[in-house]
Amino acid sequence: MSDDLLIISNGGSILCDHLDSSTPAATFTWHYQGLVSIIGSCNGVLCTCHPPNAYSHWTLLNPTTRVIWEMVPSIGHCLGLAFDPVNLDFKIVGFSDQLDDVGDITTRITKVYSLNANSCTTLDIEFPTDSVEGGHDHGVVVNYYLVHWMFWSPSLRKSRIGCFDVCKMGWIDDVLLPRYYYDPTRRNYFLLDIGVLDGLLCSTFENKVDSCFDVWVMMEHGVQDSWFKLFSIPISNNLLDGVIPVARRSKSLEFLIRQRHSSKFYWYDMTDGRISDAKFDGVPTYSGFETYMCSRSMVKLPGGRLFEDR
């Protein structure tokens, strides 16, 4: 993990820091007027959206080369950054919902912005119009080109994971969660969040039967039986709103975790279950910030410019 950067949105700035390194951290900050929101990271590039309109003014930037590329298209409220390895192209997937008079979703419009083409494509495709889970507007990317969102399915009465393939330019079959999740006798088992851990799709569940939070990872993407329960953390550890795994410390069984609705970071040691505070310079205690891991990369952004701190 020493070659990766921990990315933290912090009000009007973005903090980049080495998570695991024997050398001093090379921390630097981007400043904007107003709130900065991270859409995601992929192939060494970070995507953010920011004022004047948080959903139509966004940037791609490479934290390693400090090259930035600014754009102002509008492609929807639910966004995800991915990389198409076939066409060597960064793409941003966005979708928005059309509602009827009582607030029910009637249609969903999906758009894909291509960096190479510098244009946006609107897709006329069918996709279930289940509602996006609250607070999960930004997609989770696995294998560079697969973007995932959590949706609430009224028919299942459970959350599901929708997946968009930027190579095939379309929605593909849902990623099935562990079979344990669909067991009708496990009514007190709820999906809280999805993310990426060591490049693998991961999910956090609230297990009310055993009073703990379970973290699972999908060892082979798309294979339901490859889900593996990595660890469980008792709710009695004062992590009452759930936890999100962020990263694993290299060559150890220590995981960086974050409380879902606060800025508290912790190290969780799988060997003995010990939890200890993890602090990062410049990160205050308030809710709402976002965290991602971004690999160090020399990938180029066509038409980009060198970023200047401001």
- pLDDT-based confidence at 300, cuts 50/70/90? confident
Give phi and psi for 143, each to the nearest 5: 60, 30
Please give the residue that has the higher pLDDT: either 156 or 91: 91
- Model confidence pLDDT, tens digit, residues 246-263: 888 877 888 988 887 766
Q: Where are the domains of the chain?
A: 1-175+290-310, 178-284
pLDDT of residue 288: 56
pLDDT of residue 14: 76
Token match 């999908």: residue?
218
Residue 26 pLDDT greater than 60, yes or no: no
Query: How does DSSP classify residue 226?
Result: G
CA 155, 156, 157, 161 torsion: positive or negative?
A: negative
Can you read off the two tokens belonging to residue 260?
Answer: 């879902």
The mean predicted confidence, pLDDT, of the chain is 82
- Which of 116-130, 163-177, 280-294 shows the highest mean pLDDT? 163-177
Q: Taking Cα atoms as reference points, which of 83, 29, 35 lies closest to residue 55?
A: 35
**Is-contact 208 188, C-beta < 8 A?**
yes
Instruction: Report how far residue 118's alpha carbon sits from residue 95's, in angstroms, rounded to the nearest whole number.
Output: 18
CA angle 275, 161, 220 (to 5 degrees): 70
- pLDDT-based confidence at 36, cuts 50/70/90? confident
Please give the residue that has the higher pLDDT: either 187 or 103: 187
Mean pLDDT on 131-145 = 80
Can you read off the two tokens belonging to residue 189?
Answer: 């088992």
| Dihedral class, residue 307 (left if φ above 0, else alpha if ψ from -120 to 50, else beta) | beta
- pLDDT-based confidence at 175, cuts 50/70/90? very high
Residue 204 pLDDT greater than 70, yes or no: yes
- Model confidence pLDDT, tens digit, residues 45-99: 988 876 555 556 778 888 888 888 887 666 777 889 999 999 999 999 988 777 7
- Which of 107-111, 121-125, 226-230, 253-257 shows the highest mean pLDDT? 226-230
- pLDDT-based confidence at 290, cuts 50/70/90? confident
pLDDT of residue 118: 87
Question: pTM for this one?
Answer: 0.88
